[in-house]
Structure 1
């Protein structure tokens, strides 16, 4: 792995930013594509847009931190991204085992991001 998490933070910024924007702009389509057989009602659309704004915020956080080299400044950012990715992994694995088998691939992506983030978080200790 590279010595700096810059590329990882750029990747996270792009992934979370794109998914977040999709949830804001086309929430019903994202829900329908993510969970076959589920129609997005008004509540689902509102929740998807709220989740989208949170994902865009995480993308902005990762983007703004991409050039940070000070471990004291970088560690909290990595910690927040670890918390999100671990929780997203668990949530997506649960969905994959219950209502949305298509959630397995995103779960594995979040797992890989979690592992990479932990690697850099430990380096900043």
Structure 2
């Protein structure tokens, strides 16, 4: 068996501290670019050559059209309350779930609109999310 690193499609989503949430994955990637510890540090380090292609976090976000996950000052907009990966990753109440769903849907619609503005015609707008 050779020592070559082989891509693993499950590498990012199996940490209980992130539970495959895009906002938490982006926070890990942000910290990776800053050289800070995060729950995905070992995985992101394995793929550091890939991340170096972008030059920095802002460029990574721009390339993948993830601007709607960040505030104007470059901080990650979390879908649930966040405290350094110590808070629950899944909604614990109906109200939390409704808020989470609304924020995730807003992000998806905003990103789809961004993609349509760059590459398509028309709009990806969807009805208001209750």
TM-score (norm 2): 0.37
Decide which structure has greater helix share: 1
Larger Rg: 2
TM-score (norm 1): 0.38
Higher relative contact order (CA 8 A, sep 6+): 1
